């Protein structure tokens, strides 16, 4: 455990990754599986989640999938109950799934705002509540990692009012839950990705993405594995005394 590899090992740990079927989530799922975890891919896209889990099993990794619609409380409660019943209590929960569509601020509707918040913030709250209850009951601690966005540190383009609002809510949830869960040995940390060319980012609808986030970043565009490395650190034994912290993995945007 005290070797460098041991400090980043998730051997014999169960990890649940929302939105694990695509993009950054897939990168996290692959990193966790490589670190020895049994990974549950929780996604609304049942086909993609099942295919990724199958591909990982073909590589000798341990992976399963569960269908969840984070915008629907009943679906979240049922999916978490399924995971707990079939696989036991996760050691790590990664709230990664998120919508990224943009709306010009003056045209942004209440429905746009609610749709974004229902998945990006409310869904993460419901997932954390359900899984943290089980972690507390199991009494072995645990890890929650929330995927926010470097948009909260100025890496922004036009059209992100609802998106940034939802990520701000997730940031607040992270701090409040870190405080209340610390006495149970559960840490809550956040990773703030910069731009990553994922299906979700490429296919996001809305006005042209004009703004500071489009300027070149010193270290180049991030890949899903770059984000995954920071998430793995927070989920690993190396980070057992770290909570309520945020790491931006943004290619150096903040110094450009």
Ligand X SMILES: NC(=O)c1ccc[n+]([C@@H]2O[C@H](COP(=O)([O-])OP(=O)(O)OC[C@H]3O[C@@H](n4cnc5c(N)ncnc54)[C@H](O)[C@@H]3O)[C@@H](O)[C@H]2O)c1
List alpha helices for 88-160, DSSP H: 110-117, 123-138
Please give the order of strands across the beta sheet that includes 92-95: 62-67, 38-43, 14-18, 92-95, 142-147, 186-193, 246-249
Of residues 90 and 98, the one with the C-beta less far from ligand X: 98
Contact assessment for residue 159 and residue 102, using Cβ atoms and an 8 Å cutoff: yes
Which of the residues 32, 91, 163, 234 is marked catalytic?
163
As measured in angstroms, the least distance from the Cβ of 4 to ligand X is 28
Of residues 9 and 84, the one with the C-beta less far from ligand X: 84
As measured in angstroms, the least distance from the Cβ of 5 to ligand X is 27
Q: Provide the terminal-to-terminal Cα distance of the chain, rounded to the nearest Å.
A: 38
163 among known catalytic residues: yes
Please list, in sequence order, all residues whose beta carbon lies within 8 angstroms of the beta carbon of residue 145, skipping any fewer than 6 positions away.
92, 93, 94, 95, 188, 189, 190, 191, 231, 234, 235
Residue nearest to ligand X (CB): 200
Of residues 72 and 185, the one with the C-beta less far from ligand X: 72
As measured in angstroms, the least distance from the Cβ of 192 to ligand X is 7
**H-helix or E-strand containing 145?**
strand 142-147
Alpha-carbon distance of 218 to 256, in angstroms, equals 6
Binding site for ligand X (CB under 6 A): 18-19, 21-25, 43-45, 68-71, 96-100, 119, 147, 149, 193, 195-196, 198-201
**Shortest CA distance to 201 belongs to which of 99, 95, 94?**
99
**H-helix or E-strand containing 14?**
strand 14-18
Of residues 9 and 228, the one with the C-beta less far from ligand X: 228
As measured in angstroms, the least distance from the Cβ of 185 to ligand X is 26
Distance of CA 186 to the CA centre of its chain: 16
Distance of CA 16 to the CA centre of its chain: 10
DSSP class of 121: I
Of residues 36 and 209, the one with the C-beta less far from ligand X: 209
Positions annotated as catalytic residues are 163
């Amino acid at each position: 455990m005290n070797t460098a590899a041991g400090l980043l090992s998730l051997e014999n740990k169960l990890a649940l990754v929302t939105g694990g079927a695509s993009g950054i989530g897939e990168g996290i799922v692959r990193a966790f599986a490589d670190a020895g975890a049994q990974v549950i891919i929780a996604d609304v896209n049942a086909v993609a989640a099942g295919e990724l889990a199958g591909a990982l099993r073909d590589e000798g990794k341990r992976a399963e999938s569960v269908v969840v619609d984070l915008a629907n409380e009943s679906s979240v409660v049922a999916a978490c109950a399924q995971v707990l019943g079939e696989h036991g209590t996760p050691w790590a929960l990664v709230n990664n799934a998120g919508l990224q569509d943009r709306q010009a601020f003056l045209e942004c509707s209440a429905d746009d705002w609610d749709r974004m918040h229902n998945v990006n913030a409310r869904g993460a709250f419901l997932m954390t509540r359900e899984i943290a209850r089980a972690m507390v009951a199991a009494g072995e601690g645990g890890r929650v990692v929330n995927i926010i966005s470097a948009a909260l540190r100025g890496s922004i383009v036009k059209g992100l009012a609802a998106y940034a609002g939802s990520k701000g809510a997730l940031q607040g949830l992270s701090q409040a839950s870190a405080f209340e869960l610390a006495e149970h040995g559960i840490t809550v940390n956040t990773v703030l990705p910069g731009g990553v060319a994922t299906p979700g980012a490429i296919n996001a609808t809305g006005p042209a993405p004009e703004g500071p986030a489009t300027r070149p970043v010193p270290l180049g565009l991030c890949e899903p594995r770059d984000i995954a490395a920071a998430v793995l650190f927070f989920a690993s034994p190396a980070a057992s005394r770290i909570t309520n912290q945020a790491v931006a993995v943004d290619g150096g945007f903040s110094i450009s």
